[in-house]
């Protein structure tokens, strides 16, 4: 019980600290600047990463299941998710994530990767909504909001699409491994 209280206190303190930092960055740079938009997104990403380490999100909602329009990922292909994936490889993001979480073929490792895809998608969705609210509430014009919109698309919307594109394939691999184990044990 005491441990949970401490987690909530530290999560609240982290949230208030990030709000304060965002406010300071907004004062130092204009809300319409690229620096503010970039910093906002990365502060929110750090905040969510910390929260996820403190709070055990179940992430078992039907939201994470593929919808009919998402089958085979064609819609994401049309929206450029393959180009975005190449961009991540080009900037070295894929290498960084693979060093931190190397791909393993065990079912438990694959299930962890699948859970992490849900966590990543959940985090980017929360951040995208926060940035969207700020985009609608703070800037005076569409031109003032352009960097908020662009960074939100690149740093949140495309990562969400990428997780939703990859997860069905990952679930197929997990299902295939489970079926192999069942058949091997029969």
* Maximum alpha-carbon separation in the chain: 66
Higher pLDDT, 66 or 1: 66
pLDDT of residue 186: 65
pLDDT of residue 101: 67
Q: Which of 131, 103, 129 is nearest to 117 (CA)?
A: 103
Mean pLDDT within 83-108: 81
Q: How many independent structural domains does the chain possess?
A: 1
pLDDT of residue 38: 97
Residue 171 has pLDDT above 90, yes or no: no
Q: Which residue has the tokens 């905040």?
A: 47
Q: Which of 114, 139, 133 is nearest to 36 (CA)?
A: 139
Residue 133 has pLDDT above 90, yes or no: yes
Gyration radius of the chain over CA positions: 19
Higher pLDDT, 40 or 111: 40
Question: Given CA atoms 10, 11, 12, 18 in this order, what sign does their dihedral have?
Answer: positive
Helical H runs in the chain? Answer: 2-28, 34-54, 74-78, 81-91, 93-100, 107-137, 142-152, 158-185
Q: What is the pLDDT of residues 12-56, one digit of tens each?
A: 999 999 999 999 999 999 999 999 999 999 999 999 999 999 988
Mean pLDDT within 84-96: 87
Q: In which domain, by residue range, is 163 found? A: 2-58+67-185
160, 107 Cβ separation under 8 angstroms: no
């Amino acid at each position: 019980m005491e441990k949970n209280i401490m987690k909530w206190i530290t999560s609240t303190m982290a949230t208030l600290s990030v709000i304060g930092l965002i406010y300071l960055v907004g004062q130092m740079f204009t809300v319409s600047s690229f620096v503010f938009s970039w910093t906002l997104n990365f502060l929110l990403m750090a905040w969510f990463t910390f929260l996820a380490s403190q709070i055990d999100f179940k992430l078992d909602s039907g939201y994470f299941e593929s919808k009919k329009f998402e089958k085979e990922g064609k819609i994401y292909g049309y929206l450029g998710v393959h180009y975005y994936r190449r961009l991540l490889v080009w900037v070295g993001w894929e290498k960084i994530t693979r060093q931190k979480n190397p791909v393993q073929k065990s079912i438990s490792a694959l299930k962890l990767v699948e859970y992490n895809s849900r966590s990543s998608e959940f985090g980017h969705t929360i951040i995208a909504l926060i940035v969207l609210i700020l985009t609608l509430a703070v800037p005076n014009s569409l031109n003032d909001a352009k960097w908020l919109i662009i960074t939100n698309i690149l740093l949140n919307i495309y990562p969400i699409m990428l997780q939703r594109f990859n997860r069905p394939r990952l679930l197929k691999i997990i299902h295939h491994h489970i079926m192999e184990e069942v058949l091997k044990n029969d």
